């Protein structure tokens, strides 16, 4: 990306908020978008290549690190990496034991994977906003490059919908279809009179359906909104560079302060996403 003094602020911001998009062009051909307008025209079926590739790269790092430690784990004095991994595992295990009241050996590994994966995606927000896009542009690989997957609603919705699918699966598995249907239609309003009970069924279903559907929506948008706002602040701060010595120094100091504060945000957002996942799965295992 060219420096901010050769483009307008609006163009600079739009460039950094545009994904490397693959889709169908207006002439019917499939390929990568070379302009923001082309990316917008590709519509719903477009694929954000950068979000997918960075997500896979980051989960690969997680699997490589944890698998490597698991293969070399020792009961003797552990090294620093093993200590770090064991601390994370103990942290996740403690949260699962405190929040999940049923028994399901799948929940703890799911929570561990989600926490580490989301944290690594959020951590990419600390990479200077111009660095990787500039490198890929100079190498001729890609003109657009968003490196923070959690600022893409497609990624956060994908995570949230996967958790939602598990929640529905375990709700039906634990309670049966009839039990799950009763959970959606027989509460919160109840009555002993059969006729009143029938009348209340659509009202209960509407209220419960809204509550069920809102879970993946809020689950995804909470992560996306916080990370998108943090990325936007980094982009706005970077506009200060190249506008003068004083503003450049001030921008550098401001960026450092925001980066330090942002470490807390990226960790907290990963933790909240994991906690909500555990809570939702616990609700799926509960009998009303």
Is 100 in contact with 107 (CB distance < 8 Å)? yes
* 97 in catalytic set: no
Measuring CA to CA, which residue among 278, 284, 273, 260 is closest to residue 100? 278
Tokens coding 129: 């906003």
- Say which DSSP state 123 is in: H
- DSSP-derived letter for residue 21 is E
Q: Domain segments of the chain: what residues?
A: 51-176+212-285
Residues in the chain: 288
CB 146 within 8 A of CB 20: yes
**Is the link from the previous residue into 105 a cis peptide, with omega within 30 of 0?**
no
Residues 6+ apart with CB under 8 A from 248: 240, 241, 242
Bridge partners of 65? none
Q: How many CB atoms lie within 10 A of CB 210?
A: 9
Interaxial angle between packed helices 245-285 and 107-123, expressed in degrees from 0 to 180 and rounded to the nearest 10 = 170
Given 79, 83, 218, 248, which residue is catalytic? 218
Whether the CB-CB separation of 246 and 129 falls below 8 Å is answered with no
Residue 16 DSSP label: H
| Dist CA 120 CA 87 (whole Å) | 17
Sequence-ordered list of residues with C-beta below 8 angstroms from that of 146, at least 6 positions apart, any chain: 16, 17, 18, 19, 20, 48, 50, 51, 152
Tally Cβ neighbours within 10 Å of residue 174: 15
Instruction: Kindly list the averaged pLDDT for each block of 10 residues, start to end, along the chain of length 288.
Output: 60 89 90 89 89 96 93 78 91 94 92 96 91 87 90 95 95 91 86 85 90 94 94 89 80 88 94 96 86
Confidence at residue 248, expressed as pLDDT on a 0 to 100 scale: 81
Q: Which of 51, 95, 226, 238 is catalytic?
A: 226
Q: Which tokens in the block code for residue 229?
A: 């706002």
Q: Is 222 a catalytic residue?
A: yes
The catalytic position among 154, 222, 238, 248 is 222
pLDDT of residue 52: 96
* Alpha-carbon span 195 to 191, nearest angstrom: 9
Alpha helix segments (H runs only) across 192-244: 194-238
Give the integer Cα–Cα distance in Å for 207 and 29.
45
pLDDT in the model for residue 240: 84
Is 226 a catalytic site residue?
yes
Query: Mapping DSSP to helix (H, G, I), strand (E, B) and coil, where does residue 286 land?
Result: coil
């Amino acid at each position: 990306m060219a420096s901010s003094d050769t483009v307008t602020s609006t163009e600079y911001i739009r460039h950094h908020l545009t994904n490397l998009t693959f889709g169908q062009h207006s002439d019917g051909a499939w390929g990568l978008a070379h302009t923001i307008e082309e990316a917008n025209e590709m519509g719903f079926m477009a694929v954000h290549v950068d979000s997918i590739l960075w997500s896979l790269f980051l989960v690969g790092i997680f699997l490589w690190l944890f698998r490597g430690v698991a293969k070399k784990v020792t009961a003797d004095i552990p090294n620093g990496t093993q200590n770090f991994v064991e601390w994370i595992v103990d942290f996740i295990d403690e949260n699962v034991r405190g929040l999940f009241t049923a028994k399901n050996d799948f929940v703890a590994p799911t929570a561990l994977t989600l926490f580490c994966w989301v944290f690594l995606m959020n951590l990419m927000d600390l990479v200077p906003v111009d660095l990787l896009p500039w490198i890929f542009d100079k190498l001729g690989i890609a003109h657009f490059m968003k490196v923070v997957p959690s600022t893409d609603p497609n990624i956060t919705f994908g995570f949230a919908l996967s958790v939602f699918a598990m929640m529905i699966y375990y709700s039906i598995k634990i309670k049966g279809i009839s039990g799950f249907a009763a959970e959606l239609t027989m509460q919160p309003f109840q009555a002993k009179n059969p006729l009143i009970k029938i009348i209340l069924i659509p009202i209960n279903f509407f209220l419960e359906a809204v509550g069920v559907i809102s879970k993946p929506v809020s689950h995804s948008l909470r992560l996306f909104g916080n990370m998108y706002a943090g990325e936007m602040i980094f982009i706005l701060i970077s506009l200060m560079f190249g506008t003068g010595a004083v503003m450049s120094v001030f921008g550098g100091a401001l960026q450092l302060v925001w980066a330090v504060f942002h470490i807390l945000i990226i960790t907290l957002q990963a933790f909240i996403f994991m906690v909500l996942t555990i809570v939702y799965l616990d609700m799926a295992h509960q009998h009303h």
